[in-house]
Amino acid sequence: MSGHYRSVFAPGLFAGKVVVVTGGGSGIGRCTAHELAALGAHVVLLGRKLEKLQAVAEEIIVDGGRCSFHVCDIRDEQAVQDVVQATVATHGRIHGLVNNAGGQYISPLEKIGAKGWEAVIATNLTGGFLVARECYLQSMQAHGGAIVNIVADMWGSMPGMGHSGAARAGMVSFTETAALEWARSGVRVNAVAPGYIASSGMDHYPPEAGAMLREMAATVPAGRFGNEAETSAGIVFLLSPAASFISGSVLRIDGARPQVRLGWGQVAAPAQAQQRDAVRPFDGFHRYEVPKVFRK
């Protein structure tokens, strides 16, 4: 399948820019890479699985975009240093970073072992720090740039994913600190916090979680899951010149889910309200695939 990404942003917005996207082989990272490439950026995909990176790079090139990729485990400090160095050597500088790579598994706190806890913290916090630090040291300190860290809807806790909630909260604090410390170099640092997004990442949860996932939309005031394109649009905005006075902020993309309180009664908007112009789903990604858990 080929076609054109239906971005709301101006064509050529990122022409001549180099943007690194971690976790670019699937889900939100894949979608964001497509949108940035469609807007003229050269996208550098980072991820652990070569076949996924190759597939996304081929999609982008078929669609007329520019893309390259590197296999990299962002938890490996030397590997991160080397891949950023290679990117700067090839392209001259890095204009933007989307710190998207992450992952977790469902488990109550009392069943999470030290290795599992440390693995999630390393992926969702330490790895993002390492990539941001190296992009800053090797390029942005001298030239400026914009960083967007992807966190999660962890306000009010993340039951069943306490390791991820702790890491994401840490990344919010890192975002705020980096925004302050790196402002002197002309660097902006923000975060995007997706809520319940119908992304391919949901297909990695065990089959027994399917019923719970399908019921979650009823707990969202917007009455539905968000999609990858709606998340990507927020990321692209924060990377763009229009966000030049925004730094140290977190943009929630969650349909007002954290505002839900017990005793409110019916939460989800009815189907008729969900189709009104202001809240109708934005179908921007021409290659989007509905997660298997939601297919009928």
**Range of lowest pLDDT (51-55, 124-128, 197-201, 229-233):** 197-201
pLDDT at 1 over 70: no
- On the question of pLDDT at 95 being above 90, the answer is yes
User: Within the chain, what is the greatest distance between any pair of CA atoms?
Assistant: 57
Report all structural domains of the chain as residue ranges with CATH numbers, in order of start. Answer: 18-282+290-294 (3.40.50.720)
Average pLDDT rounded to a whole number, residues 29-39 = 98
Give dist(CA 68, CA 20) in Å, integer: 10
DSSP three-state, residue 27: helix
Angle, vertex CA 87, rays to CA 81 and CA 93, nearest 5? 105
Strands (DSSP E) contained in the chain are 18-22, 42-47, 66-71, 96-99, 145-150, 187-194, 250-253
- Work out the average pLDDT over 14-27: 96
Q: How far is CA 230 from the centre of its chain?
A: 11
Q: How much is the mean pLDDT over the chain?
A: 91
What was the pLDDT predicted at 206? 67
Strand partners, 100: none
Structure tokens at 128: 């993002």
- How would residue 258 be classed by pLDDT, with cut points 50, 70 and 90? confident
Counting residues of the chain whose pLDDT is more than 90, the rounded percentage is: 69
Check whether 115 has a pLDDT greater than 80.
yes
Interval 200-240: pLDDT, tens: 776 666 666 677 777 888 889 899 999 999 999 999 999 99
Query: In the prediction, which pLDDT does 296 show?
Result: 65
Q: Which of 61-65, 185-189, 208-212, 235-239 has the lowest mean pLDDT?
A: 208-212
Distance between CA atoms of residues 275 and 277, nearest Å: 6
Residue 105: pLDDT over 80 = no
pLDDT recorded at residue 269: 87
The DSSP element (H or E) to which 163 belongs, if any, is helix 162-181
User: Strands of 18-22's sheet, edge to edge?
Assistant: 66-71, 42-47, 18-22, 96-99, 145-150, 187-194, 250-253
Cα separation, 210 vs 205, in Å, equals 8
Residue 204 has what pLDDT? 66
Mean pLDDT of 12-21: 98
183 near 147, Cβ under 8 Å? no
Q: What is the pLDDT of residue 289?
A: 87
Give residue 90's Cα distance to chain centre. Answer: 25
User: What value does the mean pLDDT take over residues 278-288?
Assistant: 91
89 membership: H or E segment, kind and range = helix 77-91
Q: What is the mean pLDDT of residues 233-259?
A: 96
**Is residue 74 scored above 60 in pLDDT?**
yes
Q: Which residue has the higher pLDDT, 233 or 156?
A: 233
For residues 214 and 142, what is the distance between their CA atoms, to the nearest angstrom? 47
